[in-house]
Structure 1
Amino acid sequence: MPTEHVDVLIVGAGLSGVGAAHHIQSAFPDRTYAILEARDALGGTWDLFRYPGVRSDSDMQTLGYRFRPWTQDKAIADGPSILDYIRDTAADAGIDRHIRYGHQVVSAAWSTEDSQWTVTVDHAGETAQLTTNFLYLCTGYYHYDGGHTPAFPGIEEFGGEVVHPQQWPADLDYAGKDVVVIGSGATAVTLVPAMTDQARHVTMLQRSPTYVAAQPGVDKLANRLRKLLGDRLGYTVTRWKNVFKTIAVYQLSRRRPAMVRSFLRKNAIRLLPPGYEVDKHFKPRYNPWDQRLCLSPDGDLFAAIRRGRASVATDEIVGFTRTGIRLRSGTELPADLVVTATGLRLLALGGIRFSVDGRPVQLPETMAYKGLMLSGLPNFVFTIGYTNASWTLKADLVSEYTVRLLRHLDDGGYDQVVPVQDGPGVEERPLLDFAAGYVQRSVHEFPRAGSRRPWQLGMSYANDVLLLRHGRIDDGTLRFSRTRKPATEPVSEPG
């Protein structure tokens, strides 16, 4: 059988992959494309995570697509609602007919002579190949097969059950049980109040505190604007309102950290019981936005503590016992169920092995151009979202830039484009310059960023709108070329 060829090959059928497909097929209805998805369902993160209370940690006016208004009343949405939103987007545009499920991409090899990638996939234990003119990765940046769990001393002695949120059993029964959630990040802050409806008591066990910000789950202004202006215009106005609000909070946190720290502390005091040890449990050692702020919709975590259904223990784990967890302070936390919300494991570009003209590519030796292409890799784009704002804000901009790039190739009669880092004085920086533990554990395996444009990974949506939506394509860093066109076989769509 001849190798199947598509004009654009998208890897990943999550939030960004479905969005990328929408942009590509809207701009180029005559181009062939396919989406390869390693799992058996679309939705990515929002299909994978099934733990109690799973939700967005940012508003849906910015986590939603620019081209598809979010019309539900809740701005902070639950996971199933977000999954439905992605599925509806894919179904309404016919994108779901282009998805190949169970296709794990193993390697991608570029041929300059043929101006195409040969992509090798594992499908049900068998190897298959596709070729494509343009490779577009929407794989996210963490392992889907399991999260990070430290080696806790004596965990084998524990008589209860231990689960990681990324592998939540569908039949897990925690009704009437003592639950300890290890961790203080977004997952733990979500899980603790969500589990209090059935558990006897839930304890969030943290080694050190995290900033937790309470925010209304319903954006009343957004709902009023939607009624007054209609879904699309109301959504656009709210989206920009929330973008500027996020930028303002982030910039204030960086420039006046003491002010933001004081505001968050006073808000926690207001929401917690009188006399609560706020500084022990909710006063981090770092400044706001050195790590991502955790969101508590309607202050649900604080409310659970106030009602006595949840508590926070700030201590170090010495080891597990048969009935719980022994802490450095000498306290033992009783537990029937322990949830290890201890973070993710990062995976650079889906773990795919890349080569260019037979030479293996070492990702840490590449540099990210505008946070979406890699030096030395032709006809290639990847998506990594913001760490200080909604992922989809960046994903949409990457898609818009990709459309502009493909049009520039067409207009110039080019069939290859590659970023070349040959400018003087560009110093290497981590691609993800973020203090979170899950980033620091694996960032050395990722491509690098540079000390100045266009090699910096931007974290400002407003700046990226100018750079990616309106900036010059032929900026002197991208190299465009023409070679002979490869012979291709017509694509046959599944189903």
Structure 2
Amino acid sequence: MPDGDLFAGVRAGMADVVTGTIARFTPNGVEMQDGTHVPADMIVLATGFNLCVFGDIAFSIDGKPLDMGDTVTWRGMMFTGVPNLVWVFGYFRASWTLRSDMISEFTCRLLQHMDEKGVDRVEVVLPPDLVDSPRGLWVDPEDFNPGYLARGQHLLPKTAPGPEWRHTQDYWREKDEIPRVDLDGPAFRYARCRLPMTT
């Protein structure tokens, strides 16, 4: 907001926020579905938007379509059953790039680890005790709940119990945890799948 005009008006008690469904426009404002009349000098219409998850890419594995909504996230960057994919997704409540940098560094470390092991495939797997556990939403509505995200939750990976099986908004925790992730821990499954060279 230029010069913070809107915020100054709110602080001065000159503006109100009304949430609800508009029933009709009136000569002096809008009438809400509950019958409340909201006077307005100006009305701005906004339709919102729908999430374009993963760029609307039609992922498939071995020819079978992949629904990301059926996967479980590992720390908001890798997904069960999806090999060789790391998704860069930042923070809603802190700088997006703080997390982007951490994920980039993690990815470089993972690729180097794969080279050292002589493998070219990695995916994350749920431990046996979580395979049948309840699934949660990508982002807890108590933490972040704009309409566009609420409408698109079914398209996003799910969560499972435990901090490593969810996407957190806690930079102060992740800045210590992500650099120390054990790349040979039980969450990771590696394989070699290169075809032999032929002439």
With normalisation by structure 2, the TM-score equals 0.80
Task: State the Cα distance separating 1:416 from its structure 2 match.
Answer: 0.8
Aligned equivalent of 1:451: 161
CA distance in 2, matches of 1:486, 1:334: 72
Aligned equivalent of 2:106: 401
Structure 1: gaps of 5 or more residues: 1-189, 195-297, 488-495
2:73 aligned residue (354, 368, 376): 368
1:432 aligned residue (130, 139, 142): 139
- Structure-to-structure mapping, 1:60-459, within 5 angstroms: 190=1, 194=2, 300-305=5-10, 311-312=15-16, 314=18, 316=20, 317-321=22-26, 324-327=29-32, 328-335=35-42, 338-341=43-46, 343-425=48-130, 426-435=133-142, 436=145, 437-459=147-169
Equivalent position amino acid for 2:80 in 1? S
2:171 aligned residue (455, 458, 461): 461
* CA 365–462 in structure 1, closer or farther in 2 if over 3 Å, else same: same
Whether the 8 Å contact between 2:50 and 2:152 is mirrored in structure 1 is yes
Whether the 8 Å contact between 1:364 and 1:446 is mirrored in structure 2 is yes
Task: State the Cα distance separating 1:388 from its structure 2 match.
Answer: 2.8
Whether the 8 Å contact between 2:77 and 2:89 is mirrored in structure 1 is yes
Report the 3-state secondary structure (helix = DSSP H, G, I; strand = E; otherwise coil) of the residue aligned with 1:433. Answer: coil
CA distance in 2, matches of 1:383, 1:332: 44
Task: State the Cα distance separating 1:356 from its structure 2 match.
Answer: 0.7
CA distance in 1, matches of 2:89, 2:159: 13
Task: State the Cα distance separating 1:387 from its structure 2 match.
Answer: 2.6
Percent identity at matched positions?
34
With normalisation by structure 1, the TM-score equals 0.35
Task: State the Cα distance separating 1:485 from its structure 2 match.
Answer: 4.8
Task: State the Cα distance separating 1:477 from its structure 2 match.
Answer: 1.5
Equivalent position amino acid for 2:184 in 1? D
Report the 3-state secondary structure (helix = DSSP H, G, I; strand = E; otherwise coil) of the residue aligned with 1:424. Answer: helix
CA distance in 1, matches of 2:170, 2:8: 33
Structure 1 consecutive aligned stretches of length 4 or more whose deviation exceeds 4 Å: 305-308, 321-324
CA distance in 1, matches of 2:153, 2:174: 23
* CA 429–470 in structure 1, closer or farther in 2 if over 3 Å, else same: same
Equivalent position amino acid for 2:154 in 1? H
Task: State the Cα distance separating 1:348 from its structure 2 match.
Answer: 2.0
Task: State the Cα distance separating 1:304 from its structure 2 match.
Answer: 3.4
Whether the 8 Å contact between 2:30 and 2:37 is mirrored in structure 1 is no
Deviations 1:440-478 (A, max 9, x none): 222122111111143122221122122222221121211
Whether the 8 Å contact between 1:386 and 1:394 is mirrored in structure 2 is yes
* CA 402–304 in structure 1, closer or farther in 2 if over 3 Å, else same: same
Aligned equivalent of 2:183: 473
Whether the 8 Å contact between 1:325 and 1:334 is mirrored in structure 2 is no
Structure 2: gaps of 5 or more residues: none
Deviations 1:136-173 (A, max 9, x none): xxxxxxxxxxxxxxxxxxxxxxxxxxxxxxxxxxxxxx
CA distance in 2, matches of 1:459, 1:315: 26
CA distance in 2, matches of 1:359, 1:394: 31
* CA 340–423 in structure 1, closer or farther in 2 if over 3 Å, else same: farther
Whether the 8 Å contact between 1:415 and 1:481 is mirrored in structure 2 is yes
* CA 314–484 in structure 1, closer or farther in 2 if over 3 Å, else same: closer
CA distance in 1, matches of 2:171, 2:81: 26
Whether the 8 Å contact between 1:400 and 1:468 is mirrored in structure 2 is no
* CA 417–330 in structure 1, closer or farther in 2 if over 3 Å, else same: closer
CA distance in 1, matches of 2:5, 2:196: 58
Task: State the Cα distance separating 1:398 from its structure 2 match.
Answer: 0.9
Report the 3-state secondary structure (helix = DSSP H, G, I; strand = E; otherwise coil) of the residue aligned with 1:320. Answer: strand
RMSD: 2.8
Report the 3-state secondary structure (helix = DSSP H, G, I; strand = E; otherwise coil) of the residue aligned with 1:480. Answer: strand
